[in-house]
Amino acid sequence: MTDEITDLERHLGKGPMIEIDGEQVELKALSLESLPDFYKFMKCFVGAGESANPTDLFKNLDDVSLKALQNMIYKTLKKSCPDKTDDWINEKGMQYSLLLMSKIMELNSAGMSPDAEKKAKLFQELEKRKIK
* Mean of the per-residue pLDDT values of the chain: 78
pLDDT of residue 49: 60
CB 119 within 8 A of CB 109: yes
Please give the model's pTM, rounded to 2 decimal places. 0.70
Q: How large is the average pLDDT for residues 107-123? A: 61
Please give the Cα distance from 76 to 26 (Å, whole number): 10
> In which region does residue 13 sit, left (phi positive, over 0), alpha (psi from -120 to 50) or beta (all else)?
left
**Residue-wise pLDDT tens digits, 54-74:** 666 667 778 998 899 999 999
